[in-house]
Amino acid sequence: MFTSVLVANRGEIACRVFRTARRMGIRTIAVYSEADARALHVREADEAVLIGPAPARESYLDADKVLAAARATGAEAIHPGYGFMSENADFAEAVMAAGIVWIGAPPAAIRAMGLKDAAKKLMVEAGVPVTPGYMGADQSPERLKAEADAIGYPVLIKAVAGGGGKGMRRVDAGEAFLDALGSCRREAASSFGDDRVLIEKYILSPRHIEVQVFGDAHGEVVHLFERDCSLQRRHQKVIEEAPAPGMDDATRAAVTAAAVKAAKAVNYVGAGTIEFIADGTEGLRADRIWFMEMNTRLQVEHPVTEAITGVDLVEWQFRAAAGEPVPLRQDELSINGWAMEARLYAEDPANGFLPSIGKLDHFVLPDGVRIDTGVEQGGEVSQFYDPMIAKLIVHAETREAAAEGLAEACGAVEVWPVRTNAGFLVRCLEHPRFVVGDVDTGFIGAEEGGLVATHPSGLVRIAALTLTAEDQHLGSRPWASDRETPWEADANNPASGFRLNAPRRASYRAAVGGEHVSGIVLSRQSGDFSWDVQIEDQGFVSRSKPRRIEVEGVGTVGYRGSWRDTACLVFDRGWAWQVTEPRFNSSMSAAASDGSLRAPMPGKIVATPAKAGDVVAKGQPVIVLEAMKMEHALNAPFDGMVGEVAFAVGDQVAADAVLAMVLKQESA
């Protein structure tokens, strides 16, 4: 076994690989870009090497710099993590040529499975059922359109070099095909440097079922059962679990056998995943499940497999790379309980799931569950990399218990000012359809409205008033108003209220999440921080404890913010709300309706579907920005005319730049 490993990656996957390396007594070496100088993976490693500026192309994706770092530190092995260079066969070869152990798939297997069209052809030859579609060399729009027409809509256009859910467009009707093709090709060219596509029949009620396989250098391949990753948003996995709900023995036997066959067809060594798409209209059935692609690397969601099998897949990767046989035989592997993983993304569900970048001033994750993360409080989410900041993994005896445990864990996430999808995860996990395992990849799209909190809940409003009253009670918060009782006399005397026995009553105003809340709050007893809160004609009893507020019969929220802060935060089941002085917030939505389309983050203009003078309908795309590897269309906020498009395709823009103006159309 080698005695040192360099991880050619960042974030949570680098930290994950280091964890196993440390346990095995292997020296850990990190590489990092200038943007990651203070990142967790750098601090956790025994040694770290700066390899270049923030953009991945100039650091993490620069093979020469990574290899130079390996030589300089005497690294005996390189683990690529996932993404970045994990599926780069040239890099794998360069690593081996340098006499360094490559902890990844054999270059030939990476190449064979690297392009989705070639991989599908290979699988057809190996007798593995594949998704029907067109995977030809003729890439003319006319031919592609004709093939799509022949397959019948809906179809899916996929970048042959695609990955991570990017470079994919569902098309429901022939008229929309060419536009979708253009946007798919743009994304494919910029993300993968290859704009070729294939067309697939869009499978109805699609469920994403994948099989973890593991091979060694002696020709043995085992599987570690399946995962269900059907809960996706725009083809990106959000919640994954193992095993798959509704999987019967016959279907499991068929799909795992197909996976092993696929891995053997490419002489696979190490950890790999065979992804299948299943038509879930009548539950999972052995004859309705097709090969989609193989990921020749460790997968983001590998922890759920580790949980149900008790295997440390990174340890197995180390052993396979060192030439050892697969540690367990197929008949020694079994499924124990149920595991679920949620991906915590730095994104703002209430704002179209735009990635959210910035400082993690407050970053608190729950205890008692497995957390794989690469950031910590005080760290930063930068514009340069993936917005996934943590994974929460729960293992329990039953699916029900795993889902409940994971919902509770996600509900305890507290992050600010970066926004996350934690509250959205809770709502997914508690949704009646998810609870019974009735989820296909369209679930989020169909239910999205109900999965996103756009307004603070009643509980949050009560908590906001409680906090406002409490601050006022202690004489430190300036904005409570309309005092009705002799408070004023004590206002500058912190805690004075608690010495008085007479109940005190006052009306308060606050803004929470940009919305006003007002009501009457009465301190119940001296000293115990409990309050009668009256909002409109409803009364509540709320009690504040360190870091949380309980409202009798309603629920509990977390909060942060000392009495002397100018604002404080309320955390409700994964959602974060800021409590502020009312007048600061009243103009919050005014900016959104003046017709200016602002860049939500720094990025590059990739399309300008509307020109100055065009008449546009509300919701129609005006200008398209690419940032954090995704395209974001900025849409007309109302019916109107495009007044100005201030940038052209290829321009780099700063956050908040006004990209275009839409003028309200005079009604004739």
Q: Which residues are catalytic?
A: 297
From the list ligand ADP, Mg ion, none, partner contacted by residue 208 (C-beta under 5 to 8 A by kind):
ligand ADP
Q: Which residues fall within 8 angstroms of residue 104, CB to CB, at 6 or more apart?
A: 79, 80, 86, 92, 110, 270, 296, 297, 317, 321
Q: Which residues fall within 8 angstroms of residue 626, CB to CB, at 6 or more apart?
A: 187, 190, 603, 604, 605, 606, 632
- Binders of ligand ADP in range 175-204 (CB under 6 A): 200-203
What is d(CA 536, CA 160) in angstroms, rounded to the nearest whole number? 58
Task: Determine contact, residues 243/290, Cβ cutoff 8 Å.
Answer: no
Nearer to Mg ion, 275 or 341 (CB): 275
Task: Spell out the SS3 assignment of 74-96.
Answer: CCCEEECCCCCCCCCHHHHHHHH
Nearer to ligand ADP, 299 or 580 (CB): 299
> Among 55, 129, 165, 246, which residue interacts with ligand ADP (rule: CB under 6 A)?
165
From the list Mg ion, ligand ADP, none, partner contacted by residue 120 (C-beta under 5 to 8 A by kind):
none
Cis peptide before 417 (omega within 30 of 0): yes
Question: Which residues are 623's β-sheet partners?
Answer: 634
From the list Mg ion, ligand ADP, none, partner contacted by residue 457 (C-beta under 5 to 8 A by kind):
none
**Residue 78: CB minimum distance to ligand ADP, A:** 15
From the list Mg ion, ligand ADP, none, partner contacted by residue 84 (C-beta under 5 to 8 A by kind):
ligand ADP
Binding flag, residue 388, ligand ADP (CB under 6 A): yes
Task: Determine contact, residues 360/375, Cβ cutoff 8 Å.
Answer: yes
- Binders of ligand ADP in range 258-277 (CB under 6 A): 275, 277
Place of tokens 């050892």: 324
Task: Determine contact, residues 598/659, Cβ cutoff 8 Å.
Answer: yes
The conformational region for residue 235 under phi > 0 = left, psi -120 to 50 = alpha, else beta, is left
CA atoms within 13 A on the CB side of 169: 21
Nearer to ligand ADP, 379 or 475 (CB): 379
What is d(CA 85, CA 13) in angstroms, rounded to the nearest whole number? 13
Place of tokens 């974001």: 632
| Per rule CB under 6 A, count of chain residues that contact ligand ADP | 36
From the list ligand ADP, Mg ion, none, partner contacted by residue 395 (C-beta under 5 to 8 A by kind):
none
Binding flag, residue 291, ligand ADP (CB under 6 A): no
- Binders of Mg ion in range 434-493 (CB under 5 A): none
End-to-end CA distance of the chain: 79
Binding flag, residue 119, ligand ADP (CB under 6 A): no
Report residue 279 as tokens: 């038509």
Nearer to ligand ADP, 10 or 419 (CB): 10
> How far are the Cα atoms of 118, 221, 254, 333, 408 from residue 308, in angstroms, in the given order?
33, 19, 20, 10, 20
Binding flag, residue 300, ligand ADP (CB under 6 A): yes
Binding flag, residue 95, ligand ADP (CB under 6 A): no
Nearest-10 Cα torsion for 296, 300, 304, 307: 90
From the list ligand ADP, Mg ion, none, partner contacted by residue 403 (C-beta under 5 to 8 A by kind):
none
Nearer to ligand ADP, 191 or 580 (CB): 191
The CB-nearest residue to ligand ADP is 83
- Binders of ligand ADP in range 225-244 (CB under 6 A): 232, 235, 237
**Residue 295: CB minimum distance to Mg ion, A:** 6
In whole angstroms, what separates CA 7 from the centre of its chain? 22
Neighbours of 98 (CB within 10 A): 14
Nearer to ligand ADP, 171 or 480 (CB): 171
Question: Which residues are 355's β-sheet partners?
Answer: 347
Q: Which residues fall within 8 angstroms of residue 296, CB to CB, at 6 or more apart?
A: 86, 87, 104, 105, 109, 110, 113, 114, 268, 272
Nearer to ligand ADP, 164 or 637 (CB): 164
The CB-nearest residue to Mg ion is 275
**Residue 309: CB minimum distance to ligand ADP, A:** 18
What is d(CA 631, CA 354) in angstroms, rounded to the nearest whole number? 10
Nearer to ligand ADP, 88 or 580 (CB): 88
**Residue 165: CB minimum distance to Mg ion, A:** 7
Point out which span in 67-75, 269-277, 478-486, 494-502 binds Mg ion (CB under 5 A).
269-277
Closest CA to 600 of 239, 341, 311, 353: 353
Neighbours of 535 (CB within 10 A): 16
> Among 9, 33, 373, 578, which residue interacts with ligand ADP (rule: CB under 6 A)?
9
**Residue 368: CB minimum distance to Mg ion, A:** 31
From the list Mg ion, ligand ADP, none, partner contacted by residue 232 (C-beta under 5 to 8 A by kind):
ligand ADP
| Per rule CB under 5 A, count of chain residues that contact Mg ion | 1
**Residue 415: CB minimum distance to ligand ADP, A:** 17
CA atoms within 13 A on the CB side of 49: 22
Cis peptide before 582 (omega within 30 of 0): no
Nearer to ligand ADP, 82 or 318 (CB): 82
Binding flag, residue 211, ligand ADP (CB under 6 A): no
From the list Mg ion, ligand ADP, none, partner contacted by residue 338 (C-beta under 5 to 8 A by kind):
none
Point out which span in 16-24, 76-84, 528-536, 598-606 binds ligand ADP (CB under 6 A).
76-84
By CB under 5 A, name the binding residues for Mg ion: 275
By CB under 6 A, name the binding residues for ligand ADP: 9-13, 81-84, 131, 156, 158, 162-165, 168, 200-203, 206, 208, 232, 235, 237, 275, 277, 292-293, 295, 299-300, 386, 388, 441
